[in-house]
Chains A and B, each alone.
Chain A
Amino acid sequence: MLKISLDKLGSLFDAIAEKEALYIPADKAGQPQYMRYQTGMQMTEALNTVRSAKDFFFPQTENLVNFKVSGKTIEIIDPRTEQEDFVVFGVRGCDVRSFSILDKVFLVDPIDTYYENRRKHGTIVSMACTRPSETCFCHTFGIDAAEPEGDAVCWKTEDALYIKANTEKGEALIEKIRPMLEESDDSAVEAQKAATREILGKLPLANFSTEKFGGDVLLKAFNSEKWASLSEACLGCGTCTFVCPTCQCYDIRDYDTGHGIQRFRCWDSCMYSDFTLMAGGQPRLTQKERFRQRFMHKLVYFPANNNGEYGCVGCGRCLSKCPISMNIVKVAKSLEGDL
């Protein structure tokens, strides 16, 4: 195990940022979010960022292709520039897992090269949780918040930051900062892991388990009358999908800049009525169908196509951000009776 004293964390960040772009979770206007590191910037004390870390690989908007139209002719222009190497530091276990879920969408044939390129150039340094909150349920999906995945993993104690590489990318990063690190035993890390796991075991959602809705079980509740009452208050605001680390639905649109056409993709939401609207009709007629789609996708359809892996990481963002306090846990629990 390698460690660095916390008072030297700033110089560690400086050293990484000197070589490649570094992003850390920091507070901006009272909201924790990932920001490009500049000397003096402090990591947030908050448990997690308001938005997930999916932006690094699947940004909210991105330019796919440009067109120059003149008369009857069209010229196609690939707008991409070289992708820089970057490090995302301090990603929680839930968000790290979300990348492997997004991989199962974007890296299967045909590969999304925009996403793939960012994945190749990004190094993920995760950070173990020490104070998981009442909305956390990552353990439901087999994620260990006390020892997250990632190219490298960190544990922050009261006086030091411990770091360990999990992949070649992680080893390469540690190699670059190796002179600043010192060897240490892992007793402090083991103590922290044990303490965190004890808290995890006492959380309100500690007993929330996939056994109740696993496999195709939830599909049997597709026609449950409860969907109507569960979705009744849904505003269709899409907040759940925007803060969700695994929601990956997107729209493709054209924008006339006045100098040419930009075709861009942006996040879209299955909660929106025009998501599936066609000239010929609407397959999901009311908010009930749209609401049901989101949970069915994460808990039934995605696992059906991906060897049982769920499309949820239990980060709890939808629990804390939904304006009507409806969420995946409430849905699963209230449908249990119908299963």
Chain B
Amino acid sequence: MNTEALIPKIGVVTKITQETPDVKTFQVVGLDGKKVFEHKPGQCAMLSVPGVGEGMFSITSSPTNKEYMEFSIKKCGCVTSWLHAMEPGQQITIRGPYGNGFPVDTDFLGKDLLVIAGGIGLAPVRSVINYCRDNHEKYGSIQVIYGSRSKDDLVKYKEIIDEWENDPNMIVNLTIDREQEGWDGHVGFVPNYVKELNPDTSKTVIMCGPPVMIKFSLAGLKELGFKETQVYTTFELRMKCGIGKCGRCNIGNKYVCKDGPVFRFDQMDELPNEY
């Protein structure tokens, strides 16, 4: 790792896509037009708008994308509002990658994957979904259960419809919270939909979404017969350094930036309930 860990590199925002009313996806490359660094699925990067501040974001693109990195970012605070106000060509700063990432080279090998995501929670898991699609010979099938408030709030909708749904190795189950004109798909909250779908308990589960979705989905999975040892999630707590030193993202003795952000639920049982 770069020993000057706190000094960032320059990234250029080459493309900005409006995904939902409050989510945009940013394509980022280095000054040389290439990726700033390589990463593993599930890892994060610290982006900043100088003068405004830094923020930790999951890298939405798969490592198999050799051209650029993508970040799907919801507008919800200071730095994110500045990012949303940007135009292509704008430079930002970037440092990373941070965190452990998903165990794609170990625990996930040969497994059927079940991805459960809610809202912007798709951003961190899209990386692992596309990574496993691009290396499909190493993994089993991929089922994605993804829900959002409305049809308009489904992130990466075009990619889901055009690519994932046409992938013979994938099953995609979309749901939205309330009935909406122009939506003939499933309506209802993610945890209930998971139970309705009754997925095979041999699958390895990856979950990311609002805490309430995580809580009830986990309970539902357990009812279906899943064990905590086969359910993974990715956390985000407030971070400043990204390297386990600034002291704020810890849950017990684990630092989310360094020891996480990916945890298996049986590991969470050993930690205080402060997340």
Contacts and interface: CB of A to CB of B under 8 A. Distances in A.
Contact of B237 (A64, A111, A283): A283
B89 interface: yes
A297 interface: yes
B250 A254 contact: no
Interface in B198-249: 211, 236-238, 240-241, 243, 245-249
Interface string A234-272: 000000000000001111111010000101010010100
A276 B248 contact: yes
Main secondary structure of the interface of B (DSSP, over half): loop
Interface residues of A, number: 49
B168 interface: no
Interface string A45-88: 00000000000000000001101010011101010000000000
Interface in B103-134: none
B91 A270 contact: no
B61 to A, nearest CB: 22
A112 interface: yes
Interface in A270-314: 270, 275-281, 283-284, 289, 293, 296-297, 300-302, 304-305
B245 A106 contact: yes
Contacts of B8: 65, 76
A261 B54 contact: no
A78 B3 CA distance: 14
A113 interface: yes
Interface of A: 64-65, 67, 69, 72-74, 76, 78, 105-106, 109-114, 222, 248-254, 256, 261, 263, 265, 268, 270, 275-281, 283-284, 289, 293, 296-297, 300-302, 304-305
15 contacts: A64-B6, A72-B91, A74-B50, A74-B93, A106-B245, A111-B5, A249-B248, A250-B245, A250-B246, A252-B6, A254-B52, A261-B50, A276-B249, A279-B77, A301-B250
Interface of B: 1-10, 48, 50-54, 76-77, 80, 87, 89-93, 211, 236-238, 240-241, 243, 245-253, 272, 274-275
